[in-house]
Every structure is written in C-alpha cells, then in structure tokens.
Chains A and B, each alone.
Chain A
C-alpha cells in the first residue's frame, strides 16, 4: 500500500539552529519527490523536485536530499521567515497517476 509519513509533526527551532525534516515513503511507480512550503491561509508553494536517489537540490537555507525510501529537508541557520508547514509529495506515474501528500511538518523558528 502506498503511503507517506513525515516527521516530526512539529518542530520549534531557535533562529540559527539547524535541523532536518524527514519524509518516508512507500510508493510504487515513483516518478519524483516534491517538496512544498505552505504558509497559513495560502496554498502550498513548490520548492523542489528530486528524481533519483543521491540527488540534492538547494535553495537559500534549504537543501533537499533523496534516498530510495526517504527524503530529507535540511534547514541551515533558519530565520523566522522560514516558519511554515513543509509538505512532501511523492509523485506516481502509471495506471493511476497522482501525488501522495504527507501530513506535513509545522516549523516554527523563534528569533
């Protein structure tokens, strides 16, 4: 059965305190792993796509990595404006193309 699990559910960091968010998945026919950021009252905003194990993508203080079963979103020296909910979504192609969204990690960075 296809499933996605994100951990932790919530994470509180002090400004400058680096950490990692985890996305574990079991999805057949995986095409890519997508990360999104969602601010309160807004739709998710696309961040990265990772297509193969070992691939890494960076954007400002964020770096996403991918293995065969997990993806990590590393946050280096976060700032309060990085506070948001981060969602991962493995994308499947095949007879039933779709995205499986995790429940998200709510990040709060305190100044």
Chain B
C-alpha cells in the first residue's frame, strides 16, 4: 500500500511570493491534516480536511489556506511568504477525523524563504 506522498520535497521561495504544496493520502483515507515543523516550535497543527470540508484549524494567519479534492488529495497554499514561514510542512492522512485515529505522515516539503 502506497504511503502519503508530498510534492515537492524542497522549495526555495522569495519573501512575498506564494507557494502551493501537494499531498496525496493513503488510499481509503479521507482525513488529511497539515502540520508545520520548526526546530523551535515543534509540530504545529495547521488544519484538517475531511470529505472536502475543513474540520479544524490551528492558530495560523489567514495567509495559510488549504483545500481537499473529491479524491481526498489536498493542497496547502501560503501567500505573501515571510522569512518565518521557512519550515518542514508535513501532511498526514488518517481513516477518521479527529484525535482517535493514527496519523500517517508523508516525508514533508522543506520550504526555505529567502
């Protein structure tokens, strides 16, 4: 069974630009969550989608947005990039929404903002 696939693996962007990250979940998983990981803050929850609906959102500014398609694939967009947005962005899929089903993570997209 294929795991969670995230593309691209690496991105270098300039401050003020925008970026779109893509995530393909494990087949059959309808929940997709996004996390930001930095050395200082650890894993921070961005948002979760289930059946194309955003179910939960973390404490991030509106520059961070996402969506989920009918095939459960998800994209995350960050507009007006800031230096502090440099991080590893992780996507995770699970069978059920919420906090009672294990998350299965991709290997992330490493975003560097210069």
Chain A residues near B (Cβ < 8 Å): 31-32, 34, 36, 41-46, 49, 87, 89-93, 96-99, 101-104
Q: Would you call the interface of chain A mostly helix, strand, loop, or mixed?
A: strand
Residue-wise, chain B 30-62 has the 8 Å CB interface mask toward A (1 for contact) of 000001000000110100100000011010000
Name B108's closest neighbour in chain A (CB-CB). A43
Residue-wise, chain B 2-43 has the 8 Å CB interface mask toward A (1 for contact) of 001000000000000000000000000000000100000011
Chain A residues, Cβ within 8 Å of B90: 43-44
**B105 with A43: CB separation less than 8 A:** yes
Shortest CB-to-CB span from A50 to chain B, Å, is 11
Shortest CB-to-CB span from A102 to chain B, Å, is 7
Given known pairs A98-B48, A98-B56, the reply for A42 and B107 (CB within 8 Å) is yes
**B55 with A97: CB separation less than 8 A:** yes
> Can you name 24 A-B residue pairings with CB atoms under 8 Å?
A36-B103, A36-B105, A43-B105, A43-B107, A44-B43, A45-B105, A46-B102, A46-B104, A49-B102, A87-B43, A89-B103, A91-B100, A92-B98, A92-B99, A93-B99, A97-B56, A97-B97, A97-B98, A98-B45, A98-B48, A98-B56, A99-B103, A101-B35, A103-B42
Residues of B within 8 Å of A, CB-based: how many? 23
Question: For the complex, what is the distance from the CA of A75 to the CA of B103, rounded to whole Å?
Answer: 22
**B48 with A44: CB separation less than 8 A:** no
Chain B residues, Cβ within 8 Å of A31: 98-100
**A99 with B45: CB separation less than 8 A:** yes
Given known pairs A43-B4, A43-B92, A87-B43, the reply for A98 and B106 (CB within 8 Å) is no
Question: For the complex, what is the distance from the CA of A64 to the CA of B48, rounded to whole Å?
Answer: 27
Name A49's closest neighbour in chain B (CB-CB). B102
Question: For the complex, what is the distance from the CA of A91 to the CA of B99, rounded to whole Å?
Answer: 4
Contact of B98 among A36, A89, A91, A101 (CB under 8 A): A91
Chain A residues, Cβ within 8 Å of B104: 46
* Of B42, B90, B106, most A-chain CB atoms within 10 Å: B42
Shortest CB-to-CB span from A28 to chain B, Å, is 11
Shortest CB-to-CB span from A92 to chain B, Å, is 5
